[in-house]
Structures are given as C-alpha cells and as structure tokens.
Amino acid sequence: MRIDLSGKTALVTGSTQGIGLAIAAGLAGAGARVGVNGRSGESVERAIGELGDGDFVAVPADVATEEGAAAVLEVLPEADILVNNLGIFGAQPALEISDDDWRRYFEVNVLAAVRLTRNYLPGMRDRGWGRIQYIASDSAVVTPAEMIHYGMSKTALLAVSRGFAKEAAGSGVTVNSVIAGPTHTGGVEDFVRQMVGDDLPWDEAQHKFMLEHRPQSLLQRLIEPEEIANMVVYLSSPLASATTGGALRVDGGYVDAILP
C-alpha cells in the first residue's frame, strides 16, 4: 500500500512530542507539508529538529485559545489535513475535580478542536477534498474512574467527529476520530509512575500498570506512538475516501466490544 500526500498541507496540533510528533513524522514521510504546533516557538523548533528531513512549518500557538487559533490561521490559512491531537490528561479523584478543571479539560481537549474545524472545514469543502481527524482515547468508551473529566472530553470528541462528518457529507471531506489505547509517551510514563510507584524498572512498571490498571488490553503492552500514526496517515490519504463519520480503534484490543 503506497500512500502519497505530496502537495497536501497538514496541521497537527500538539505535535512537539509523543503521538503528535509521530503523526507529524508519518505525514511528512508520506510527502505532506506539515505544520508543527506547540505553545512555544522553542518547543516547536526543537521538535522540527528532531523530525529531521521533511517539509515542516513552525506553528507556535496555544490553540486552546481564540488568539492562538487566529495565530495558526495567519501561518496556515488553508489546510488539506487537520489532525486535532492536542490533549491534556491526569489522574484526580472524581469528587475533587473542580469546576475550573472540568472547564479546562473541555476547552483544551474539545473546544480547541471544534474551533479549528470550524476554521478549516469550509475551505476544504470548497476545494472538494479534505481530511479531519480527532485523536480520541479508549477512555472515550471505557471511562476511567481515576480521570472521568478526561474520559468525558474524549467521549465528546466522538460526538463532535460524527457531527462534523454529517456537516461535510457529500463534499469530498472525511471526518473521523481515532481511538488510541494506552500509548507509550513521556506523559504516560509519568502517569504510570504515578499509578504504580517509582521504585520499579520501567519494563516491570509498565507490566504492573497494564496488569492492574488496564487488564482488558489484548496487546498487553503500551502502544508505540508510531502505531497510532500509521492509522492517522492512512485516514489522511485518498485511500480512505470511503471512511468517514467513524471511530477507528488503535487500542490494542482494550475496548471489550465489537464496535466502539
């Protein structure tokens, strides 16, 4: 299967590390011009340095704000591919999640993606081609007791994705969400340590975490970011022209259901 994204411009939010960085690398490897986004110019330039060969555009901005979204549009007024990857997460007892925390998770994980979709979808529709994706999570379907505010935000992305797919119906633009399972990133390493302690070697800590906190996983290991990126690159391509309005799982079999 050969994926060619030459001539396409992509924006990947929150792409200075982890899954976002892997997605940026994957899209660039398929020939796309990729906007790399982070909150600071320093973090974006560092990420572009790590990415190496490829056609990258620095897009420093906090896309969780209206001002940040406007700054992105100044650098990339049009995009053929929009990957809404930006997200925050963290464990917190359910009854201790404040109103401010609830709002923050919604604004960063959901509203930022909605705002950028609202900005880029009309142009895609006018040109008759486009790809919009939302990086969701197994937590969208299996709400974790230790971070229900995060789960709520990812569940909302599934609804947002399906709704905008209807808005784009018949236009040549596809809209999908990707349900990522427990993935090996720096942030998740910190989270694993938070859940199982700091005294174990990483391999043992990862195994203990999966056994005790994610026993449903059929993969029985953390997913690598590149494995998520592979799905995103496919969905970004002309080969996925008949896939829209979907929630596609790269969850290692974590969600115990045939459908999301």
DSSP state of 111: I
Can you give the pLDDT at residue 259?
Answer: 82
Rounded to whole angstroms, the Cα distance separating 26 from 30 reads: 6
Task: List pLDDT tens digits, range 144-162.
Answer: 998 999 999 999 999 999 9
Can you give the pLDDT at residue 1?
Answer: 84
Question: For 162-191, b where at least 16 C-beta lie within 10 A, e where not — what string?
Answer: bebbeebeebebbbbbbbbbbbbbeebeeb
Claim: this prediction has a pTM higher than 0.75: yes
Two structure tokens written together for 16: 């200075």
Question: Does 188 score more than 90 pLDDT?
Answer: no
Q: Which of 105, 120, 150, 254 is catalytic?
A: 150
Contact in structure between 63 and 40 (CB atoms under 8 Å) = no
Average pLDDT, the chain: 96
Q: CA 135, 142, 110, 164: dihedral to nearest 10 degrees?
A: 70
Domain positions in the chain are 9-183+228-250, 184-222
* Architecture of the CATH domain 9-183+228-250: 3-Layer(aba) Sandwich (3.40)
Share of the chain above pLDDT 90, in %: 90
176, containing H or E segment:
strand 173-180
For CA atoms 57, 60, 64, 69, the dihedral sign is: negative
Confidence of residue 23 (pLDDT cuts 50, 70, 90): very high
Task: List pLDDT tens digits, range 35-49.
Answer: 999 999 999 999 999
Question: Does 234 score more than 90 pLDDT?
Answer: yes
Rounded to whole angstroms, the Cα distance separating 199 from 103 reads: 34
The distance between the two most distant Cα atoms of the chain, rounded to a whole number of Å, is: 56
| Residue 134 among the catalytic residues | no
Question: Does 84 score more than 80 pLDDT?
Answer: yes
Residue in the block written with tokens 């970004």: 236
Two structure tokens written together for 179: 């349900």
Could you write out the three-class secondary structure of 192-259?
HHHHHCCCCCHHHHHHHHHHHHCCCCCCCCCECHHHHHHHHHHHCCHHHCCCCCCEEEECCCCCCCCC
